[in-house]
Structure 1
């Protein structure tokens, strides 16, 4: 008997405030056309004053639990991927646990920036395969608007806030790629590239949250190469290639990166779930957001092969192959 981690439910939440590209024209030397042409982004959501990452995560978690037909009492563990926690500690995950009314199981955060959800999903899968948990709530949640430098047109127009979540449950499988659930994962990091994408603050350095800094062109080049390589590596572990993929659900950072990665994987864009135009880059929240939206649109259906891949600060990157 083989144990697989099967997706039972998915959900998301976006803050009410929608910020169109034209809003940035009032304060920056930029235009709606400039942003759309270079990124594919048309709008994004920003959290309201006082609205926290944990609050977004709780709402996404509630939606995922409802979609799964489960209550929080059935959840053994909560894993939250975020780089923008409410506080230095405790973890956002424990705040989500309390917010959902759970007093059992355990909860913790994972931090791998934009690749955070891939790392969290792989971690949750490992706990299920080891028997440490039967059902895990995996969440990506961010309020990146809190760490933007609003004078830097190269970064502040790119990011948005939001949260996505899914419920994983242990199920019996045959051990073959025909099983539903997570089939393979592939994770990497290389700290030599930390200066390409980082935040210029922190507890043990400046004592402040700091602002996001990025060398956009360099990150773009690494992203296209590393994302296609990690996706291929994960697929090869189960004897698959791009032609077997029903949907790529990529990290939603930049439409040009998404298109270039799909081309390298030899997967047409009509088999790629794209939400970047409406959400911007929501970091660790972008993949679960896109999974939820993809299901709502009727794109992602049970039994289909889905590949998710992401790269973020660190640099950290990886991919997961699953059968929905």
Structure 2
């Protein structure tokens, strides 16, 4: 089925507090050179003690509304990609519906970890193209600092907080979605997790302190092997060649990982957009943050062809090949 969904507007928000590599040197046995060499990260934004994912999400939506002419009350579906919801329930999406007083909107959270934004776009495209909804508000919001173990130097240097919002609307004349690709490798779920009700997985006992636990080496190997295959699948489905892609926007997990993905896929690093250096790994938020940074820098232009690829815990992955054509800003 040909898509009839178009990305029309976006907004982002990051907390004011910065956590630099120098700050991390005071917490664990690490230094700026070690962190930069292995991750490419220099700083991350950290939510305040009483600042939660729903609050960051609302600020991102307010940024969208300040930049684009749109009626928020026409939204008929709210999708929030997050692994760090304020509550088990009600959902962040329900909190957003209440905050902006959008009476007719359905609302739900989805958890596809670092692939959350691309999974939410996949759902929004399906909802709009099928005719179930006309205007979907897609949000990614994370406060990973609240579930990071700051005594573990292998993980605490990685994660930051932020939020992003994007509108997906019906437009049969200028649809954004050229092709999509999603999948799961559940066997690798034990390589990155945070416990909840259970403390065992696939017959193994888990570390159960409620913080994120990651086997970075295994996740790295899986991503470098899997993502280039997914990129090729997107191109094949759209009958396009790599040279026709303006920008590649992978999940900003780690700059070294992205470099390896580019090397294996053959995609030029200079045409790859990231948010990793000044925001760290923001999970579902990293791809829209990278898009907005490039948009504000004048790199990303309407008419560009963009390949998004999210991947993370689950293990989950989802990619889209898009034509970028947002509405004009105010």
1:36 match: secondary structure: helix
Q: Aligned residue for 2:196?
A: 202
| 2:10–2:167 contact (8 Å) kept in structure 1 | yes
| 1:12–1:64 contact (8 Å) kept in structure 2 | yes
1:186 equivalenced with 2:184 (yes/no)? no
Q: Aligned residue for 1:63?
A: 63
Summarize deviations over 1:106-129 as a string: whole Å, max 9, x none.
111110111111111101110001
Question: Aligned in 2, Cα 1:25/1:3: closer, same or farther, shift over 3 Å?
Answer: closer
Distance 1:3 1:29 in 2: 50
Q: Aligned residue for 1:307?
A: 307
Q: Aligned residue for 1:211?
A: 211
Q: Which runs of 5+ in 2 are unaligned?
A: 201-207, 325-330
2:156 match: secondary structure: coil
2:306 match: secondary structure: strand
1:284 equivalenced with 2:275 (yes/no)? no
Per the normalisation by structure 2, the TM-score is 0.92
Q: Aligned residue for 1:176?
A: none
Q: Aligned residue for 1:75?
A: 75
Question: Aligned in 2, Cα 1:259/1:304: closer, same or farther, shift over 3 Å?
Answer: same
| 1:9–1:167 contact (8 Å) kept in structure 2 | yes
1:247 equivalenced with 2:241 (yes/no)? no
Worse-superposed segment, 101-110 or 215-224: 101-110
Q: Aligned residue for 1:39?
A: 39
1:150 equivalenced with 2:150 (yes/no)? yes
Q: Which runs of 5+ in 1 are unaligned?
A: 174-178
Distance 1:107 1:17 in 2: 30
2:266 match: secondary structure: coil
Worse-superposed segment, 65-74 or 26-35: 65-74
Q: Aligned residue for 2:26?
A: 26
Distance 1:248 1:68 in 2: 25
Residue 61 of structure 1 deviates from its aligned partner by 1.6
Distance 1:236 1:3 in 2: 17
Summarize deviations over 1:142-199 as a string: whole Å, max 9, x none.
00001111110000110000011111111114xxxxx541111100111111111111
Point out 4+ residue stretches in structure 1 off by more than 3 angstroms: 65-68, 203-206
Per the normalisation by structure 1, the TM-score is 0.94
Question: Aligned in 2, Cα 1:47/1:245: closer, same or farther, shift over 3 Å?
Answer: same
1:303 match: secondary structure: coil
Residue 27 of structure 1 deviates from its aligned partner by 2.0
| 2:3–2:177 contact (8 Å) kept in structure 1 | no
Q: Aligned residue for 1:232?
A: 232
| 1:191–1:314 contact (8 Å) kept in structure 2 | yes
